[in-house]
Amino acid sequence: MWPETILIIIFIFLNAIFAAAEIAVVTLRRSRIKQLIESGNRRAVILNKLREEPNRFLATIQIGITLVAVLASAIGGATVVDALKHLLMNIPIPFIYTSSEALSIIIVASIITYFFIVFGELIPKSIALSNPESVGLMIAPTMEKFSKIAMPFVQILRISTNILLRPFGKRAFSERGYISEEEIKLLLEEGKERGIFGADEKELIHSVFEFTDMSAREVMVPSIQMVTINLGMSSDEIKNIIAEEQFSRYPVIGKDINDIRGILYAKDFLTAISKGEADIRKLIKPPFFIPETMKISNLLREMQRKRIHMALVIDEYGGVSGLVTMEDLLEEIVGEIRDEYDIESPVIQISEGVFRIDASISIRDLKEDHELEIPESTEYETLSGFLLTTLQRIPKIGDVVEIEGKRITILEMVGQRIAKVKLETMQ
């Protein structure tokens, strides 16, 4: 009986090694392994090799665990079962002594299973999860040697499984893809709940992901709001525009907004004026045109490469639909950037649940920067677009739209454009 018991204890110990190795290698960060390698730790090199070949490593672990389980089942404490059977047969209860063999097997199997789960799985995995570095470095050389021994079996399993899966168009042991955007967002959410990340850090990383998906059309200043300088304006008129608007760059147009001649830098113009040179034709820089569909992540790289800060957005018909500045792009990552020349926020809270809003604000900014929810759609980008889509006509001052517990009242119109609205949360 004792030899079998000792063998089962050995198998439980081996199972514990495989279970701990699996958790330690999988959970230990690559960055930490690289630090250990750079510090000259030889075991870290082996650990990194196991980590970089996850399919081979996990298949080896599975073979080891399965082999241990099969051997433990084969031994199965036969001597213990036989001894327990004779004890049960002496109990004067008909059910027990008539079923003594079956009961003995169940009792011994239950005890072995309990010890396998607790001491062969749960405890070693918990230890490895708490100390992946020390456990991983300690076990790595053993796992590498066993991996070499098990390699023929891994190859046999790979080939046979691929053959069986071929009718389904799948392959065994396929490489796992890179971690997805959704997985990172879930990790950020969990990190925020645990206090590892602050809310601002979480939002910043979320903004980076959204940044890669957005197009120029979603962030541009629409052409109707562009401040332009006409090629035929006098120097005094241009100086007045610069003094009033306080922008550093202005599109210069010919006969209309679609006739863009170039970009005038306020600094260049004011310097030229001080020297008595007022011909803006000699001062304007070539315009940089981009399509509405251009991803702003690509646009940012292009603007950095060309060392420019303003791009003019062209629609599918070749007309100018708006402009994008470097500041617009950065605001999509870090949030609204306000300076001493920004007169007011596009959203002003008048009282509890009541807001005065610039209708040109995008639905996305309204939600992300001000936590005001308006239904999103591909048919519009701004609050003004939402109102026009909902009303299906040119609105007038006093028009009201009610949706999802909110009442929006139009306060101000500039020509045919909605300028200001009041948003109230209805009780």
Q: What is the pLDDT of residue 338?
A: 62
What is the signed CA dihedral for 369, 375, 380, 386, rounded to 10 degrees? -100
Query: 73 — phi, psi (to 5°)?
Result: -70, -35
**Which of 377 and 118 is assigned the larger pLDDT?**
118
In which band, very low, low, confident or very high, does the pLDDT at 81 lie, cut at 50, 70 and 90? low
The DSSP code sequence of 156-189 is: HHHHHHHHHHGGGT--TTPPPPPPPHHHHHHHHH
13-23 average pLDDT score: 92
Sign of CA pseudo-dihedral 28, 31, 37, 41: negative
Q: What is the pLDDT of residue 309?
A: 94
pLDDT digits (tens, 9 = 90+) for 224-233: 889 999 999 9
Task: Give the H/E segment covering residue 272.
Answer: helix 266-274
* 85 vs 101: CA distance, rounded Å: 5
Q: Say if residue 173's pLDDT is above 70.
A: no
Q: Say if residue 300's pLDDT is above 70.
A: yes
252-278 average pLDDT score: 91
In the Cβ-directed half-sphere of 337, how many Cα atoms lie within 13 Å?
A: 10
In which band, very low, low, confident or very high, does the pLDDT at 284 lie, cut at 50, 70 and 90? very high
CATH, range 216-334: 3.10.580.10
The pTM for the full model equals: 0.54
Residue 207: C-alpha distances to residues 176, 292, 327, 331 (Å): 26, 20, 15, 10
Domain boundaries, the chain: 2-168, 181-211, 216-334, 347-425
CB burial string 230-252: b at 16+ within 10 A, e below: bbeeeeeebbebbeeeeeebbbb
15-40 average pLDDT score: 88
Q: Which residues pair with 222 in a beta bridge?
A: 322
Q: Which residues pair with 382 in a beta bridge?
A: 362
110-134 average pLDDT score: 89
What's the CATH fold of domain 347-425? 3.30.465
pLDDT digits (tens, 9 = 90+) for 152-166: 888 887 788 778 877
Structure tokens at 301: 């790289």
Q: What is the pLDDT of residue 180?
A: 64
Q: What is the pLDDT of residue 170?
A: 59
* 275 vs 55: CA distance, rounded Å: 72
User: At 312, is the secondary structure helix, strand, or coil?
Assistant: strand
The region of weakest confidence among 51-60, 186-195, 251-260 is 186-195
Q: What is the pLDDT of residue 107?
A: 79
Task: Tell me how crowded residue 195 is: count the other CB atoms within 10 A of its CB.
Answer: 7
Q: Say if residue 147's pLDDT is above 70.
A: yes
Query: 157 — phi, psi (to 5°)?
Result: -65, -40
Task: Give the H/E segment covering residue 367.
Answer: helix 363-370
pLDDT digits (tens, 9 = 90+) for 394-416: 999 999 998 888 899 999 988 88
As a whole number, the mean pLDDT across the chain is 84
Q: Say if residue 184's pLDDT is above 60.
A: yes
Q: What is the pLDDT of residue 405?
A: 83
pLDDT digits (tens, 9 = 90+) for 310-352: 999 999 999 999 999 998 898 888 776 666 555 567 888 888 8
Q: What is the pLDDT of residue 334?
A: 78
Share above pLDDT 90 across residues of the chain, in percent, rounded to a whole number: 31
Task: Tell me how crowded residue 268 is: count the other CB atoms within 10 A of its CB.
Answer: 17
Q: What is the pLDDT of residue 13?
A: 92
Maximum average pLDDT range among 75-89, 150-164, 335-349, 373-387: 373-387
* 123 vs 144: CA distance, rounded Å: 23
How distant is the alpha carbon of residue 239 from its chain centre? 46
What is the signed CA dihedral for 295, 301, 305, 306, rounded to 10 degrees? 40
In which band, very low, low, confident or very high, does the pLDDT at 72 lie, cut at 50, 70 and 90? confident
In which band, very low, low, confident or very high, does the pLDDT at 278 lie, cut at 50, 70 and 90? confident
Task: Give the H/E segment covering residue 224.
Answer: none
The DSSP code sequence of 78-135 is: HHHHHHHHHHHHTSS-HHHHHTHHHHHHHHHHHHHHHHHHIIIIIHHHHHHHH-HHHH
Structure tokens at 380: 């519009």
